[in-house]
Structure 1
Amino acid sequence: MEDEESDDIGPYDRKQSDEDLWFVPPFESDEEEDPFAMPLPKAPRQSLLDHSEWRAAEALHSHAIADLRFDLGRLVERVQMMGRETVERLAHAEAASLSWWLGQRISQDRIALFLAWRISATGGDTEALQSVAWAARRLMAPPHTDGSLADRIVSHLGIGHLKDMDATGDLADLIPDGSDLDAITTACAVFHLWRTLADRPDHAREIEAAVIGARLAMANAGQHLGFVPISLAGSKPLTASGSVERKLAGWIAGIHASILSALLTLERLRQWKSGATVAIEDLNGRIPMLLIGIFSHHPMIAGPQIEEESGASQAAVQRNLKIFHDRGLIREVTGQGRFRVWTARM
C-alpha cells in the first residue's frame, strides 16, 4: 500500500500559518522589489537637506543676514577702491586661519614663499602646506557666478575631474538653482553637506568645504572679491554644530566678525600707504613708489621676488629695503641674515 502524500492535512492537524515557517516569508508589496536586495529592514528614504528647516532658520536670522550683507558691501567697495592686490593679502590671511582650524598652523610667510618659489620644508607638514597654498590660490581666483550650482562648485575648486563625480551632482540636486535660499544660507548648507561626503579624501574634504562655502557666500556681491572671509575672526562658523538654526547662527556670526576683521586690515593698510608715501617724499627714483605698491600687494615677500616684480637690480632693491626698514616702514619676519622675508609694518 502506497504512503499518503506528506502534504495532506489530517483531521487532527492544525492549519499552518506564517509564524510556523522556519524561513522569513517574502514581503508583499505593490512596488517592484530588487530580487538581489538583502531581506533586512530599510532606512527611511529622506533628503539630506530639509529646505523647510533652512528657510525657517533663515527667516529667524534675516536681520543678521541683512547686517552681514551691508558690511560685506563695504568690504567689496573698499577692495574696489584699493585695487585687486588687496585680494591676495586677504586670501593669504584666510588660508592661514583655515590652517589653524585644521590644526596645521601654517603661517602667511610660508604660504607666500611656497606660492612664489615653491619653497617648503622637508618636515611632515609639507602636504599640509600644499593644501593650504591650494586654498589660497582658489580664494584669489576671480568670481564665478555663471552656470549651475554643480558647475560653480567645480569652478571654485578648480578640479576638472570633479565634473564626473556623482557626489557633486547629487549635492547640487539637493539645492536647486531656483532655490529661494540666500547665498549665505546656501553656502552654509553646502559646507556642512560637503563635509559628509565619503568620495573625497579626509585630508581634502574639510578645506574643500571651507573654500566652497567662502566662494558660494559671495554670489553676486562683487566682481573684485571672489570670496567672503569666514575664519579671520576665529573658527566659530566652521565648528558650529547641532540644529540647523544653530549651524546658521554660528555661520552668520562668525562670517560677520571676519568681514569686520578684514575691513580693519584694509584700513590699516590704507593708513600705512598714506604714511609711507609721506615718509619717502625726499627719495628720488621709481623704486620707492614701486616698493609701496609691492608691499601693499603682498602680505610677505622676499628680496628676489621684489627684484623680479620691480625689474631693479639686487643692489638697488637691497638699498631701498634698508631705507624702508630704517624709517620703520617694513620689518623682517624670519630673523635670518640671508633669505629674508619682508612685510609692511602696520
Structure 2
Amino acid sequence: MPKPEDPHLSPYDTAPEEQDLWFLPGAETEDPRPDQGASALPWDTADRRPLLDPADWLKAEREEGRALTAAAVAFARLDERLRAGPEGLVRRLALMDISDLLWSEGVRIAPERLALYVHLRAGAPAEGDRELALAGWAFRRLLGGPGPLDGLQAFLGRRPAPADGLLDFSQRPVGLAFDGLAEDWRSVLGQAGALHPISRAGCAFAAWRLFGLSGAGAVLEPAVVAARLGGAGRALPFLPLAIGERNALRAGGGSPAERLQGWYRGIETACLRGYMELDRLADWEQRATAALADLSGRTPPALVAALLAAPVLSAEMAAATVGVSFSAAARNLALFEERGLVREVTGQERFRFWTVLA
C-alpha cells in the first residue's frame, strides 16, 4: 500500500533520501590522510603557516649570494680600517647611524647635537626629551652593554610593567603581551641559526617589526637590536644600517628575497659611507698637520689626535686629554678655528664645543 503524501511537501522539495547530508562524515578514500588536521574540516580555517619562516630566508640568502658578499666585504673593510684607528672613530659612526635612524622616525637631530647630549646630557629641550633619551640609549647599546640575546628587558632598559587597565592604551606591548611576543621572536632567531650574521640580523629586524615589539612604526629599537646581532665580535660592534641612506630600513615588505636584497644594499651603502667618513677625517688630519707645521710643541699634534677621537671637544675635555692647562687648550682651539680647522657647534660664549671642519 503506498504511503500517503505529505500535505506540506512542495513539488520542488527533494526527497529526503536524495539530500546531501553535508554534516555526516564522507566516505573513506582508499588513501586517507590523517595528517590533514584542521584542513580536513568542511569550513574555512585560519592560516596556520608561520608568519616568518627562516627556511624561506635561507633559500633567499642563497639566491642573493652576490649581494650578501658585497655587503659582507664592505663591512669587513670598514671593520679592519677601524681596528687601526682611535676608539673615537667608532663613536663617530655610531652617532651618524643613530642620527639617520631617528630621521627614519621623522626626528631630525644632527650628530653634533647627539654628541653633546650623550657626553654631557646637554641641549635637551622639553619637546626633544624622549628622542634624545632614546638616542642616548641607542648610543650606549651600539657600543656595548648587554646584548639582545642576554635578556630583552635589560637590553631595552625596560622594567616589568604592573598589570593594570592602563596597559590597554599603551602604544607598544608590555607585561605578559611583550613576554609572549619576545618568546616568538627568540624562537624565530633560534631557527635562523644557519643564516649568515648579516642575513640573521635582517631576519631579526623583520621579525621584530612583524611581531610589533616596539609598537607600530618604530625603527630605532629594532634597528639597534639587528645592528648588535650583526656586529657581534668585531672591532665595530654594530652593523651600520643607515649612514647616509636608509635603504636597509625600507626593506620591510615583500618576499624574503626582496627584503634581503634591500637589506644587503643598504648595509653596503652605509659601510661605504662610513669608509668615506674615515677618508674625510684622514684628509683633515693631513690638512691640519700642514696648517700647523709652523707651530712648535706637543700640544697642537696632540689636540689634532683628540679632535679625531671625539665627535665634539670642549676646552676642558681637551685640557684633560692632552694634559695641558685650560687656558692653553682654549688658546689652541681658538687658533685652530682661525685657521679653518674646526668650528664651534653651540653658538655660546661659555661652555663651547668644537668639531673638525673637513
- Deviation string 1:135-179 (CA, Å, 9 cap, x unpaired) is 1221122796xxxx7338677656686999343332121132672
Structure 2 letter corresponding to 1:74: R
Map 1:6-85; keep pairs closer than 5 Å.
Answer: 43-85=46-88
Q: Which residue of 1 aligns with 2:353?
A: 341
Structure 1 letter corresponding to 2:142: L
TM-score (norm. length: structure 1): 0.79
Matched, 1:99 2:113: no
- Deviation string 1:68-105 (CA, Å, 9 cap, x unpaired) is 21121111110011132210010011111111111110
Tell me how far apart the structure 2 counterparts of residues 298 and 60 of structure 1 sit (CA, whole Å).
Answer: 41
The worse-fitting range, judged by mean Cα deviation, of 277-286 and 125-134 is 277-286
Please give the root-mean-square deviation of Cα atoms over the aligned residues, in Å: 3.6
Structure 1 letter corresponding to 2:241: I
Structure 2 letter corresponding to 1:268: R
Q: Which residue of 2 aligns with 1:131?
A: 134
Q: Confirm or deny: 8 A CA contact 2:202 2:263 kept in the other structure.
A: yes
Q: Confirm or deny: 8 A CA contact 2:54 2:191 kept in the other structure.
A: no
C-alpha deviation, 1:243, in angstroms: 2.0
Matched, 1:326 2:345: no
Change in Cα spacing, 1:333 to 1:229, as seen in structure 2 (3 Å) is same
Change in Cα spacing, 1:227 to 1:159, as seen in structure 2 (3 Å) is farther
| Helix, strand or coil at the partner of 1:342 | strand
Q: Confirm or deny: 8 A CA contact 1:104 1:125 kept in the other structure.
A: no
Q: Which residue of 2 aligns with 1:172?
A: 186
> How many residue pairs align between the two structures?
319
Structure 1 letter corresponding to 2:272: L
Q: Confirm or deny: 8 A CA contact 2:227 2:241 kept in the other structure.
A: yes
Tell me how far apart the structure 1 counterparts of residues 49 and 191 of structure 2 sit (CA, whole Å).
Answer: 20
Matching residue within 249, 267, 272 for 1:260: 272
- Deviation string 1:259-300 (CA, Å, 9 cap, x unpaired) is 111111111112222332343344344432331122111222
Matched, 1:277 2:279: no
Matched, 1:194 2:208: yes
Tell me how far apart the structure 2 counterparts of residues 186 and 153 of structure 1 sit (CA, whole Å).
Answer: 17
Change in Cα spacing, 1:191 to 1:73, as seen in structure 2 (3 Å) is same
Q: Which residue of 1 aligns with 2:165?
A: none
The worse-fitting range, judged by mean Cα deviation, of 165-174 and 100-109 is 165-174
Q: Which residue of 1 aligns with 2:238?
A: 227
Question: Among the aligned pairs, what percent are the same residue?
Answer: 32
C-alpha deviation, 1:50, in angstroms: 1.6
Question: For structure 1, which runs of at least 5 residues remain unmatched after alignment?
Answer: 1-10, 32-39
Question: For structure 2, which runs of at least 5 residues remain unmatched after alignment?
Answer: 9-14, 26-33, 36-42, 161-173
Map 1:230-249; keep pairs closer than 5 Å.
Answer: 230-240=241-251, 241-249=253-261
